[in-house]
Amino acid sequence: MKAIPDAISPQLLLQAVEQAFNSVLITDAQPAPHGPRILYANAAFCALSGYSTEELVGQTPRILQGPLTDRDVLDELRQCLRDGRFFHGSTVNYRKDGEPYWVEWNISPIRDAQGTVSHYVSVQRGFSELVAAQNTSQLLFEALAVSHDAVLITDENGVIEFANPAFEAMTGYAVAEVLGRTPAFLRSGEHDDAFYASLYESLRAGRPFHATFADRHRNGHIFHADQTISPVRGRDDNRTHFVSIIRDLTARVRHEQALRDAASLDVLTGLYNRRGGESLLERIYIGAREGGAPFGLILADIDHFKAINDTFGHPAGDRVLQRVGRLLRACVRATDGVVRWGGEEFMVILPHCELRAAMEQAERIRARIERTPQPEVGPITLSLGVAQLNAGETVASLIDRTDRALYEAKRQGRNRVCSAD
């Protein structure tokens, strides 16, 4: 047995054990069936278990066991004690008040001068808080895994460290594809520089950023998402990560767009109605003014339409309007706008189109309508007025000039194209 240095007295050793942070329990080596009896417990052990020293001495450590105590761990412990071997393990023990707690054991045999095991010393460490933290982490992981909202976690430099299955489903990218990248690969080009400048400014200032993002799916289509990006701070209050909670809004955005389209479309022809046409006209007007591009406008009116209704009935007149609408749509570019401006009057909006080209387009429309047979009512014709936006002109002035050109076409005998100039 190793001798105790003279500088360390038994009293000092006792004080060291008594004041130790870890729990210390000493038992004798009494064999089964009763097993070892507790001879000593330090203050840390009493605090951990809730028992006083007087309540522990003379008892077996079995008073600490309960329903959740792992029987396999106990069997291994008993086998080590029988073999006189060191034991290390962990399981659940119970406090005096019945509360379970996790404990890690190190139990060593103490031998006498003849080498016989006479006592056991157990050094224990409670780690219920650690287990609780691990359980909480596991619970959080499982919650994120089943969340319908996508969750993305990046480091302070924006490098992705975590993405949940909902992120995969929403974006089409597998987690393995995005780890180590920044979210920039999702950019669709729908947002301008000011949008991202606002985002970065908020995050640098430590503020959450919330907005509706238009991102690009792995397959190429754009999806819309409500996203909140929040900074995460460590114990020293320094920013360590960013967490993004992302909710797919694509279905809602499409529904809202459908409602807007429904409010902007003519029920009979499927073309823009007057409200939708005015909105489109304003957007193209602003683009033409800002970009300096030419902008043409056509107003067309079905000749003698009242006579068609009076002679063949309004249902027949409605079918004429529908066929004219389809023909107009077929005659123009995909970028042009076709509007049922009112009654039997139609508007064609021609961005990036000078007056000469607009006149040629109007003539093609007139000729196409004239030569297209109309069941029920026979041939029909259009009168058309054409104008180009002048420098400094308002939309109202442009429409007025185009309408006067249409009136002139009717005055000259109908089935013709007249220019506002």
At 227-256, the pLDDT tens digits run 889 888 876 778 888 888 888 887 777 776
Percentage with pLDDT > 70 across the chain = 88
What average pLDDT does the segment 274-298 reach?
A: 88
Is pLDDT larger for residue 112 or for residue 377?
A: 377
Whole-number mean pLDDT of the chain?
Answer: 85
pLDDT of residue 6: 54
pLDDT of residue 301: 96
- pLDDT at 5 > cutoff 70: no
- Main-chain phi, psi angles of 153, to 5 degrees: -120, 130
pLDDT of residue 182: 93
Max mean pLDDT among 129-143, 205-219, 354-368 falls in 354-368
Q: Is the pTM of this model over 0.85?
A: no
What average pLDDT does the segment 123-138 reach?
A: 59
Give CATH for domain 265-419: 3.30.70.270
- pLDDT at 143 > cutoff 70: no
The residue from 55, 278, 344, 370 that is catalytic is 344
CA nearest to 351, candidates 277, 285, 419: 285
- Through-space distance between the first and last CA atoms of the chain, rounded to whole angstroms: 118
CA distance 277 to 341: 7
Specify the domain boundaries for CATH 3.30.70.270 within the chain: 265-419
CA distance 271 to 338: 6
What average pLDDT does the segment 202-218 reach?
A: 89
54 counts as catalytic: no
Query: How is domain 10-131 classified at the architecture level of CATH?
Result: 2-Layer Sandwich (3.30)
Max mean pLDDT among 124-128, 197-201, 224-228, 404-408 falls in 404-408
Question: What homologous superfamily is domain 147-253 in, according to CATH?
Answer: PAS domain (3.30.450.20)
The type of residue at 62 is R
Specify the domain boundaries for CATH 3.30.450.20 within the chain: 10-131, 147-253
Phi-psi region of 106 (alpha: psi -120 to 50; beta: other; left: phi over 0): beta
Is pLDDT larger for residue 133 or for residue 57?
A: 57
pLDDT of residue 4: 47
